[in-house]
Amino acid sequence: MLAVRNGEQLNDVLFGDAGIAAALKPGAVVILTSTVGVPAVTEVAERLREQQVELVDAPLSGGPLRAGEGDLLIVVGATETARGKAQPVLDLLASTLSVVGDKAGDGQALKTVNQLLCGVHIAAAAEALALAEALGLDQERTLEALQAGAAGSFMLANRGPRMLQAYDDDRAEVLSRLDIFVKDMGIVSKAARDYALPTPVASAAEQLYLLGQAAGLGAADDSAVIKAVAPYRSTRMPSSSA
């Protein structure tokens, strides 16, 4: 079972100088739990297939909070034979296991869609809370009110409280790095370009993560993207007189 950052690490751990692929026996399966994109996975799956080894494409979704509660979603793309071999491990990891296709790459495809939504939701939450402060609203009360209405979402509930701490480096806990969403939104953008599909909202969100990384926030929690929207705490602007 592998958890890597990107396609380059996946290739290195399998086929690099100290790669493990050469030690795998025919009939073995490799379970990949990371988000690396469809092209990287299909290429690796083909190379493993030459050794009679199958890749189970099983990216995780849910983040550290849901992982700690045993509440992860795993989306799986793999042959029926490979899934059968991997099933005991997958059952231990997932509260929800969704088979989305019968080949490696199908899991990455669905996870790409998932990350589009997650990335947009986090960026939108950052803009909303920054606007609330600029309007002179109490951010904690705003967050509580939003969660009770139609604007509520998992990402707002999960990242919102951390966004309120983002300006205090001593309190900010890193649960999901900002530069991971730079990588993931890059995967989303590439997939959209490959299929000539316009994704203007996702592209705008990607720019916020890139701005955050350029500002030195790549290793910070992804909730720090609020500082790409509002680098400093806002001061309410006086109302204009008629």
- CATH class of the structural domain 7-103: alpha beta
- Cα 107 to Cα 75, 144, 161, 238: the distances in Å are 5, 34, 30, 50
When comparing pLDDT for 68 and 57, which is higher?
A: 57
When comparing pLDDT for 52 and 62, which is higher?
A: 52
Question: Hey, how many other C-beta atoms are within 10 angstroms of the C-beta on 40?
Answer: 22
Q: Which two tokens stand for residue 211?
A: 């701005």
- Cα 35 to Cα 29, 57, 114, 118: the distances in Å are 18, 9, 10, 13
pLDDT in tens, 137-169: 999 999 999 999 999 999 999 999 999 998 887
- Catalytically annotated residue among 25, 85, 103, 111: 111
Across residues 11-23, what is the average pLDDT? 96
Q: Is 111 one of the catalytic residues?
A: yes
The pLDDT of residue 234: 66
Sequence letter at residue 242: A
The pLDDT of residue 89: 92
Kindly provide the b/e burial profile for residues 55-93, where b requires at least 16 CB atoms within 10 angstroms of the residue's own CB: bbbbbbbbbeebeeeeebbbbbbbbeebbebbeeebeeb
pLDDT in tens, 82-93: 999 999 999 888
Across residues 75-79, what is the average pLDDT? 96
* Share above pLDDT 70 across residues of the chain, in percent, rounded to a whole number: 95
User: What are the beta bridge partners of residue 101?
Assistant: 77
- How do beta strands 60-61 and 54-57 pair? unpaired
CB of 51 within 8 A of CB of 26?
yes
Domain ranges of the chain: 7-103, 109-229
The pLDDT of residue 36: 97
Whether residue 222 has pLDDT greater than 90: yes
What is the reported pTM?
0.90
Cα 155 from chain centre? 11
Q: How would CATH label the architecture of 109-229?
A: Orthogonal Bundle (1.10)
Whether residue 238 has pLDDT greater than 60: no
DSSP label of 220: S
* Share above pLDDT 90 across residues of the chain, in percent, rounded to a whole number: 83
The pLDDT of residue 241: 46
Whether residue 242 has pLDDT greater than 50: no
DSSP label of 213: I
The pLDDT of residue 171: 65
CB-based contacts of 48-53 (< 8 A; 24+ apart in sequence)? 48/14, 48/21, 48/24, 51/21, 51/24, 51/26, 52/26, 52/27, 53/21, 53/24, 53/26, 53/27, 53/28, 53/29
Residues 74, 206, 181, 37, CA torsion sign: positive
Mean pLDDT of the chain: 92
